[in-house]
Copies of this chain bind each other. A is one copy, B any other.
Amino acid sequence: MALDDLQCPLPLSNYPNVTLGHGGGGRLSQQLIEGMLRPALSNPALDVLHDGARLAVPSGQLAFTTDSYVISPLFFPGGDIGSLAVHGTINDLAMCGAQPLALSVGLIIEEGLPMTTLWRIVQRMQAAAQSAGVAIVTGDTKVVERGKGDGIFINTSGIGIIPAGITIDPRRAAAGDLVLLSGPIANHGIAIMSVREGLAFETALESDSAALHGLVAALLAAVGEHVHVLRDPTRGGVASALNEIAQAAGVGISLDETAIPLDEAVRGACEMLGLDPLYVANEGKCLALVAREHGEAALASLRAHPLGQRAAIIGHVQQDRPGRVTLRSRIGGSRVVDMLSGEQLPRIC
């Protein structure tokens, strides 16, 4: 990749690996920040202050979100912890109906992490942020002893602007709403599992990691206030996300299994691994609950976007069975889709 051809501006001969001193707040910390992190993540807001960033904002509704990323391995088919951390927090903002304004980055590095690994990760963070048109404006770096961390953990927090008139809230789910899904599920979780388990498939299985704020902007431009709920089905998958919404709003949600987009290769891998794709994590998909009469317009707006070409209406909200998600299966039966119990795929994000 072209990203890997860029030379790290910090000479790596003296310190090929991160040391505790790089987190100590003194000269080594300054070298790491000024020599690598600031050049990699450079933008006007980041370059000024020390303790935080200063941003001009219009009055109105602001969204504020945080997420830590502990994914293992750090690099995986279709992504890496750095770009995932940028995409994931942009997506959390998007799921509030907000367009992202700025991100922060908090790095917790294990002593001994190769500097070249850190350099690759921060380059990918910056590439993801630039591609999404969002600036990383403030950051923090800590180092913990070998054996007290696992390579690197990344927290990204974000702030975004919610357009006037938009109120996305799980409690707005109402009987009759249609449930839209922006594309095929389970790709992220299966990509991670296939690396961890050393599985090789005929078709390359890649994470769907992507920033969804453009897709959400298109949806809101099309049907605006008629979007009641947005949710990205990450940990716990579509099943857990919809269960949370059903519980928050005190409504039932009925899904049609045949309508849920799923790649054949992912279906096969799920069967092989004994995983239900409804519970597998996604990092570039969006659920939208939309007033029924605006469902087709919403679907069209999603499908017109590159990240929503395979969007589908997968179910609807009902008064029956409040707090429950049910699935009409391929063979005609109906079953309850419960929340995920325990941990299906640890450290998937």
A residues whose Cβ falls under 8 Å from a Cβ of B: 19-21, 23-30, 48-70, 91-93, 95-96, 98, 102, 104-108, 137-140, 142-145, 147-150, 153, 155, 157-160, 162, 168-171, 231-232, 234-237, 240, 244, 248, 279, 281, 338-347
A26 touches B340 (CB 8 A): yes
Instruction: Give the top 5 A-B pairs by smallest Cβ distance, nearest first.
Output: A25-B235, A26-B340, A52-B65, A25-B236, A24-B343
Name 17 interchain pairs, CB-CB below 8 A, sorted by A.
A20-B346, A23-B346, A25-B237, A26-B344, A27-B338, A48-B169, A51-B65, A51-B231, A52-B63, A53-B63, A54-B61, A54-B96, A56-B60, A68-B107, A69-B142, A106-B106, A144-B153
Is A102's CB under 8 angstroms from B64's CB? Answer: yes
Chain B positions within 8 Å of A20 at CB level: 343, 346
Chain B residues with Cβ below 8 Å from A231 are 50-51
Given A20-B346, A59-B58, A341-B26, A106 and B66 touching (CB < 8 A)?
A: yes
| A343 partner residues in chain B, CB cutoff 8 A | 19-21, 23-24, 26, 28, 143
Cβ–Cβ contact A53 & B57, under 8 A: no
Central interface residue in A49, A92, A232, by most chain B CB within 10 Å: A49
Whole-angstrom distance between the Cβ of A32 and the nearest chain B Cβ: 12
Separation of A108 and B150 alpha carbons in the complex (Å)? 12
Q: What is the CB-to-nearest-CB distance from A299 to chain B, in angstroms, rounded to a whole number?
A: 22
When the two chains form their complex, are residues A157 and B68 in contact, meaning their CB atoms are under 8 A apart? no
Which secondary structure dominates where chain A touches chain B? mixed
Chain B: which residue is nearest A340 at the CB level? B26
| A28 and B341 in contact, given A51-B95, A52-B93, A231-B50 (Cβ under 8 angstroms) | yes
Known: A29-B235, A52-B98, A240-B25. A142 touches B61 (CB 8 A): no
Q: Which residue from B24, B49, B61, B162 sits with its C-beta under 8 Å from A340? A: B24
Residues of B within 8 A of A54 (CB): 61-63, 96, 162
By the criterion CB–CB under 8 Å, are A67 and B235 in contact?
no
A122 to B308, CA, bound (A): 39
* Assembled-state Cα–Cα distance A129/B248 (Å): 26
What residues of chain B lie closer than 8 Å to A144, measured between beta carbons? 70, 150, 153, 347
Partner of A105, one of B59, B62, B66, B102: B66
* Contact residues in B for A341 (Cβ distance below 8 Å): 21, 26-28
Inter-chain contact B57/A25, CB cutoff 8 Å: no
| Minimum Cβ distance to chain B for residue A284 (Å) | 15
In the assembly, what is the distance between CA of A232 and CA of B140, in Å?
14
Which residues of B have CB within 8 Å of A234? Answer: 25
Candidates B98, B108, B147, B344; contact of A153 at CB < 8 Å = B108
Known: A30-B339, A157-B106. A64 touches B68 (CB 8 A): no
Instruction: For residue A15, give the distance in angstroms from its CB to the closest CB of chain B.
Output: 11
Do B140 and A106 have beta carbons less than 8 Å apart?
no
Q: How far is the CB of A49 from chain B (nearest CB, A)?
A: 6
Which residue on B lies nearest to A56, using beta carbons? Answer: B61
| Beta-carbon nearest neighbor of A235 in chain B | B25
Cross-chain contact A57 with B52 (CB below 8 angstroms): no
For A68, list chain B residues within 8 Å (CB): 106-108, 140, 142, 155
